Chains A and B, each alone.
Chain A
């Protein structure tokens, strides 16, 4: 993977690409500015062209930078004993710091970008899939009035997403994190004249904000423990060439084998969060009971002056603090990646244009939570409890959303619940330590779910905006290209062998089973069973969708039927590319991804052949069973479901999403409104204002009104008063 020209000195090329990383997010931002500032000034073709060009250039530059970061470089490192040793870095990251953003007290955070295998891979996916969806949008949004606004938002989204992925510290990641949330808000409510769509956008933003508070508090916790928000130490400056910061893992003299002993642990100056976590993981000392102010005797890891000891209770250990931080950050991930209980915004988010659903609410933004967990995986590995939480929430969400998807009749809603469910699988994988496979699933899911959404967009486009599958059917003849590509996407989603989704989902499920097998904890067996049932449901709803849409006879009205047409090439070309990736995109990395990403192998190693065989059989049975059953019911027998009227309790539960969304929409919202109104009327108006403030004024006036009576103008009374007063004075004088 080295696209550098031969004549280019690898070290200088490396420095160059590191310095130029900023171009990757900047290009879409420029596209945004052009489209936002000119508004109606440029033609429709130009505004779409500018946006696509920005995405394309950004993709190209990501590709070049990524290949530069993958080249192996050697560096001399001075070991503690004074000897020089040559350290080979198989892939070393591009890292550039452009300046300080916020600096208060000991807190420091900079504008820095960092591209390693993980962020590089995801940046490629974002810009690549993003580019395809930009192109698709030129066709799909062709008739929309607010063409320039749409592309401005889309480019702004790419910018924010790239900042999220490429940032070199948690706070800058948070900038992207909130930025994509903003774009999501704007794009869900893109057709703002529809009040329901505007509300859906608002709902998404508020649910995300709940998660964001968790994210913020997680940042504070990590900051209190480690005193830094940087992922890794800032790049060292050696002349013009920035030497790579060597990871502690690599700190062994060449030629020596065995475990890295404490003596050879080399921490960079100003270590970042991941440096600390990796350094700590190399130490031999017992991990569970490390105190909050842990430090190694030689002071290479020094947490002795951290704030956490002052603000957290005495019983907090380093492990507890990590659990707290990781769980809080995971709350943020639950918001962004639509996990239970914060998932409810994502189905509503389908109010946005379909390409937006593909890009933001399936392929990229919603996977930001998984990216965050993978980015910080050394920290998560320090806290088994946080991993438990992640696995359980992920597993539950996977089955929950898969069950919800079974009865949906809106083609986009099926895919929305499917996305929630697939995100659950990713977190389940991350929770059992298979971070690399979680990222693998992020990538394959980006291919096939973007494909499915774009295909559904093509269908909706052909059906003049109709989204209800009960009014479709038999479309495979009129929309052959859409049918074939969507069929491929459904196969990938269902886990049909050798399609992209199969590789990654199978790998995750195998890891869950292996984990259960090794730990003998029943909860993991349960999670495995749930995940397999979920996989069956996935296969079922995927082909229910295919069956209802493409098979049988068309149930649309005559008028709609007349207009059914295959989409223009701008829309079908991206479908073909994504279909290819969905079919073949998994083979490439099937087994090499953990090594490629430089991630640790999950503890439960793949050395359980029987686990893999069992899992293979089970998942194949689930996938084929689901596919065949769905095709039998919906393609062969043409069943048209009416879930809203169904007497079946299970159907009703699935159709009503087990009451979760109604709970949010009715109970939470109503309580909030009533509470606000009550507080206002009772506390502010009645108690503070009427009772105290105006009461005080009234009391003053009443008192003065009473006292005023004394000034009655009757001289006799005044004389009596004077006499009484004089007597009183006399009395006191005599007494004294």
Chain B
């Protein structure tokens, strides 16, 4: 019942807020933080009680949900090692994001916190669902609060950004929904269980009744939805706009968790469902990832706005991560998973830090700053540490992910490793340029002389992230050990080597 509890807790926690009278109830943020913190505590068994040597899926739950003659959807939950880590990442980042919004959100506070808690529930649901339909429900449900977060609490151009975000994403996911229904129908309308669907599709492919054409169409419908989410070049242009306009906690959740749903979709659905098409298009997607790495880095370099710069750096980093996955090598797949977690930590921290600056000066323009290291030394140290983790300095989390992804890519095709590796250089270029322009040199603006250094709230919300940066950099085996069974299962599917456990079901003609 742990996973259900994790989904229900934030929702139940949002209820009292719903009935709060005061729009700006002072207690709202405290309550929301408390709820998300309790959720985090409740989620800890996912770390301590997860047995890497045990069955693939653990904490499994099956509940009847919609059970009609030809329509069978279960409220089925369960996590493998990787999904467990993603749930933990969600519950870990959420209290931090809420603490980060402490002073930033001044209007409609209770609605804001309701949206955040609903978002948390939806995101946990996405990673915990083992039923494709349930997954889709959560996947779409996460859009609504995000849409509101950007649209209501966003910056000046928020309506454009949030509409763009929504239409981009919905465009992809609607096509995917059609493909889901097709797959469901094709496999005999039995149920939406992910493992079951995968095996039945494999059985159909063996018998030749799931044609290449059908597989390829379905592949593209899924791939489009998840590529937008990652985002893979050239479907990335919603991301910088959404990030720039989103309030800090929105950016944290967006970069930290929502983007990971894209990679998660490739790992969980696309490749296992459509291994032939995936293998066929792996070089194409790898190429797009490499373009994303190089192009995204150039884009980041060209930005004047810190948030936009970090948004584009996400394009590059997730390009590395997807490149690792498309290598179909165990090093690359685990590296891709690792990179997702590590990017969730580093980029969230970067967005939080930029948000803190913004709260003080209401400017995100790089040119507005310059030479502030002297005024805010502690802030500077934190920012530089996170920057170093973002550019993959060894003994920080960024290095482990990048190194293993590139190793996988190199082992698949040396050129992938070489070209993808250019991100190592380019990442240093744009991040260090930003650091130099913001922190070093003479103090550009006299008004910045009175900038306040980090207060204890800000320091305490950054500390867990800073600790994680080093823990993940020094002891990655803690994480790799958990991911390994999931990665191996993925590779078995990818190479269509997985022996079918269940007998192939009857398929209506």
Contacts and interface: CB of A to CB of B under 8 A. Distances in A.
Interface of A: 100-107, 171, 174-175, 178-179, 182, 185, 189, 192-195, 198-199, 202, 205-206, 209-210, 212-213, 216-217, 220-221, 223-224, 307, 311-312, 672-673, 675-677, 679-680, 683-684, 688-689, 693, 697
B407 interface: yes
Contacts of B262: none
B74 interface: no
B115 interface: no
B406 interface: yes
Nearest to B378: A39
Nearest to A685: B237
Interface in B394-411: 394-395, 399-400, 403-404, 406-407, 410-411
A602 to B, nearest CB: 32
B421 A175 contact: no
Given A101-B474, A105-B331, A680-B302, A216 B406 contact: yes
A684 B330 CA distance: 34
Given A105-B330, A206-B425, A693-B237, A220 B299 contact: no
Nearest to A199: B436
B406 A672 contact: no
19 contacts: A101-B474, A104-B404, A175-B394, A175-B395, A192-B439, A195-B442, A199-B436, A202-B436, A205-B428, A209-B428, A212-B424, A213-B424, A213-B425, A216-B403, A217-B417, A223-B407, A312-B414, A684-B299, A693-B237
B428 A178 contact: no
Interface of B: 164, 167-168, 234, 237-238, 295, 298-299, 301-303, 329-331, 334-335, 371, 373-374, 388, 393-395, 399-400, 403-404, 406-407, 410-414, 417-418, 421-422, 424-425, 428-429, 432-433, 436, 439-443, 474, 476-477, 480
Contacts of B295: 679, 683
Contacts of B425: 206, 209-210, 213
Contacts of A105: 329-331, 334
Given A101-B477, A192-B373, 18 more contacts: A101-B474, A102-B404, A102-B476, A102-B477, A103-B480, A104-B330, A104-B334, A104-B404, A178-B399, A185-B432, A192-B440, A194-B441, A212-B424, A217-B421, A220-B406, A676-B299, A676-B302, A680-B299
A688 B301 CA distance: 18
A707 B116 CA distance: 40
A233 B187 CA distance: 52
A506 B424 CA distance: 40
B441 A195 contact: yes
A684 B237 contact: yes
A209 B426 CA distance: 9
Contacts of A175: 394-395
B109 to A, nearest CB: 33
Contacts of B424: 209, 212-213, 216
A174 B402 CA distance: 14
A224 B373 CA distance: 44
Contacts of B303: 680
A100 B400 CA distance: 13
B410 A220 contact: yes
Q: Per DSSP, are chain A's interface residues mostly helix, strand or loop, or mixed? A: helix
A290 B418 CA distance: 26
Contacts of A104: 330-331, 334-335, 404, 407, 480
Given A195-B441, A206-B428, A676 B403 contact: no
A688 B476 CA distance: 38
Nearest to B413: A311
Given A104-B480, A175-B394, A677 B404 contact: no
Nearest to B297: A676
Q: Per DSSP, are chain B's interface residues mostly helix, strand or loop, or mixed? A: helix
A675 B294 CA distance: 12
A202 B417 contact: no
B436 A217 contact: no
A311 B411 contact: yes
B53 to A, nearest CB: 15
A174 B406 CA distance: 15
A665 to B, nearest CB: 14
A182 B395 CA distance: 12
A33 to B, nearest CB: 12
A210 B339 CA distance: 22
B224 to A, nearest CB: 14
A192 B432 CA distance: 13
Which residue, A220, A221, A675, A677, has most C-beta atoms of chain B within 10 A?
A: A220
A120 B66 CA distance: 70
Contacts of B164: 693
Nearest to A210: B425
A78 B339 CA distance: 46
Which residue, A100, A105, A213, A676, has most C-beta atoms of chain B within 10 A?
A: A105
Contacts of A189: 436, 440
A658 B236 CA distance: 43
A673 B302 CA distance: 7
A693 B295 CA distance: 18
B440 A198 contact: yes
Nearest to A675: B298
Contacts of A107: 331, 404, 407
Nearest to A310: B411
Given A102-B400, A192-B440, A210-B425, A178 B413 contact: no
Contacts of A102: 400, 403-404, 476-477, 480
Which residue, B295, B440, B442, has most C-beta atoms of chain A within 10 A?
A: B440
Given A103-B477, A105-B329, A206-B429, A179 B394 contact: yes
Given A102-B480, A220-B407, A182 B388 contact: yes
A689 B236 CA distance: 10
A198 B436 contact: yes
Contacts of A101: 474, 476-477
Nearest to A109: B403
A697 B474 CA distance: 48
B337 to A, nearest CB: 10
A185 B435 CA distance: 12
Nearest to A313: B414
Contacts of A689: 237
Contacts of A103: 477, 480
Nearest to A174: B394
Contact of A680 (B298, B436, B439): B298
A220 B411 contact: yes
A220 B417 contact: yes
A198 B441 contact: yes
Contacts of A206: 425, 428-429, 432
Contacts of A171: 403
Contacts of A673: 301
A677 B301 CA distance: 8
Which residue, B164, B234, B302, B436, has most C-beta atoms of chain A within 10 A?
A: B302
A193 B302 contact: no
Given A192-B441, A193-B371, A677 B428 contact: no
B426 to A, nearest CB: 9
A374 to B, nearest CB: 22
A412 to B, nearest CB: 21
Contacts of A680: 298-299, 302-303
A484 to B, nearest CB: 39
A677 B443 CA distance: 26
A697 to B, nearest CB: 8
Contacts of A194: 441-442
A546 to B, nearest CB: 36
B237 to A, nearest CB: 5
A693 B235 CA distance: 9
B328 to A, nearest CB: 12
A684 B300 CA distance: 12
Contacts of B371: 193
A409 B316 CA distance: 44
Contacts of A205: 428, 432
A212 B403 CA distance: 12
